[in-house]
Amino acid sequence: MKETYKDYFRSRSAAQRYAKGRPRFHSFVIERIRSFLAPRKALKLVLDVGCGTGLSSVALKRLSERVVGIDISAGMLNFAEKAAAIEYLLASAENLPFGAGKFDLITISQAIHWVDHEKFFAEADRVLKPESLIVAYDNYFQGQMIGNPAFNDWYKNEFLKNYPVPPRGKREFDQASKYAAGFVLKREEFNENTLEFSAEEMVNYLVTISNVIARVENGAEAIEKVSEWLAKSIKPFFNDKTKKNFAFINPVWYFHRSA
């Protein structure tokens, strides 16, 4: 993975689109984490790595008394949602600006494929309290409108052809492997879920994903042109002007230090 792909998320344009278009799915994951942690003691301080515009950090307030969200993009942090007991800092996953044994939990939402795993796990080991976890999670768009295969064909044959997935790091793990600093995958989940979008909301979402981010922030195409093409292309799927349901897969990975 080249650093340049992470840099695409630093632009103000990308941050504005992200703040406007990213859906809120995080609360569902937080409840899954809560279930996994029980009956552990209440969490006092959690670190949210790659917090972006703060959607994941705000959701974490349901788990912890205090949350610190970090991101490498000042642009993203400028749009981060403000809330009591949440602090945002400009920092990278590979160089955490905290003392040893500070956090009860580390989460990383929709960003595990953008970080250097070896450096991140080593830093996480340093700043976590003993017996604490790293939880990484995502929500993969499947390109499927529930009940309308024509949208699925459009996504595969037109959208992905125009905006292919850019290079990124690994986001698959296995329980047989030991990761940096002795972390092992204790549990892995793949939860199916659906999210509802209007035509406008779907356009606003699609211009936030890395396929589009990479092309636009690299200067290959103007965001106005992308948005116009998307709006025209998906209009036939929303002719009745009602919101539609779309399929997502929500993986959650729980990492713990090996004994």
Domain boundaries defined on the chain? 3-142+169-197+247-257
Does the global pTM surpass 0.85?
Answer: yes
Q: Are 85 and 67 in contact (CB under 8 A)?
A: yes
* Mean local confidence (pLDDT), 231-242: 94
What pLDDT was estimated at residue 166? Answer: 82
Q: Please, which residues bridge with residue 178 across strands?
A: 184
CATH of domain 3-142+169-197+247-257: 3.40.50.150
Share of the chain above pLDDT 90, in %: 74
Highest mean pLDDT among 22-31, 107-116, 143-152, 160-169: 143-152
CA distances from 103 to 9, 30, 63, 92, 130 (A): 26, 17, 13, 16, 9
C-alpha angle 17/55/231, rounded to 5°? 30
Coil, strand, or helix at residue 42?
A: coil
Residues 98-135: pLDDT tens digits? 999 999 999 999 999 889 999 999 999 999 998 899 99
Please determine, for residue 148, whether its predicted confidence score (pLDDT) is greater than 90: yes
Give the pair of three-digit tokens for residue 231: 């709006």
Please determine, for residue 214, whether its predicted confidence score (pLDDT) is greater than 90: no
Residue 51 CB contacts under 8 Å (≥ 6 apart), including other chains:
57, 69, 70, 71, 76, 77, 80, 88, 109
Confidence class for position 189, pLDDT limits 50, 70, 90: very high
Confidence class for position 12, pLDDT limits 50, 70, 90: confident
Q: By C-alpha distance, which of 246, 239, 228, 207 is closest to 17? A: 207
Lowest mean pLDDT among 34-48, 72-86, 214-228: 34-48
CA distances from 99 to 95, 96, 103 (A): 11, 9, 9
Q: By C-alpha distance, which of 151, 136, 147 is closest to 188? A: 136
What pLDDT was estimated at residue 9? Answer: 73
What pLDDT was estimated at residue 42? Answer: 78
CA distances from 235 to 56, 144, 228 (A): 30, 15, 11
Per-residue burial over 67-96, b if 16 or more Cβ lie within 10 Å, else e, is bbbbbbbebbbebbeeeeebebeebbbbeb
Alpha carbon of residue 123 to chain centroid: 20
* Mean local confidence (pLDDT), 90-96: 96
C-alpha angle 119/120/125, rounded to 5°? 100
